[in-house]
Amino acid sequence: MQVGDFAETTRGFSADDVRAFLTLAGNDAVASSVPEPLIGALFSYLLGVELPGFGTNYLKQEMRFLAPAPVGLPLTARVEITQLRPDKHLADLTTTCTGPDGTRYCEGRALVLIKDVGA
C-alpha cells in the first residue's frame, strides 16, 4: 500500500433497492433519491473488501452530501489513500461518490486502522 492507491466500485440503486432499505429502516416513505446510508455502504464495502481490505477497522468517517443522488443512476464510489502512518497502523483516505457525468454527490474522508500499513 502506498499514497495514491485507490479502489472504486460502481453501482446503481433501483427503486426496489431503495424500498427494501426503507422497509428495513422501518420507514414507509417513498424516496426519489438514494438514501445517504446506502452511499456510505459503498465506502464501507471498498474499505473492507478492496482497499485496504480484510481486517480493516473503521475509526472515523466524514461525509458531506452535496446533492441528492437519483435512484437508478450508476454511482461510482472511490477511496484513495492520502496518508499512511505505519507507526500507528493508520491510513487516511479521501472518499468520493460521483455520477457518470462527473457530478459529485458525496465527498469526505476516512481513517482506518490496519495491521499491514507498510512504509
- Domain assignment of residue 45, given as a range: 6-113
What's residue 117's pLDDT? 58
Q: Does 53 map to a domain? A: yes
What's residue 55's pLDDT? 85
Per-residue pLDDT of the chain (119 residues; tens, 9 = 90+): 899 999 999 999 999 999 999 999 888 777 889 999 999 999 999 999 999 888 899 999 999 999 999 999 999 999 999 999 999 999 999 999 999 999 999 999 999 999 765 54
CB 1 within 8 A of CB 91: yes
Q: How many domains does the chain have?
A: 1
CB 95 within 8 A of CB 78: yes
Q: Does 97 map to a domain? A: yes
pTM of the model: 0.89
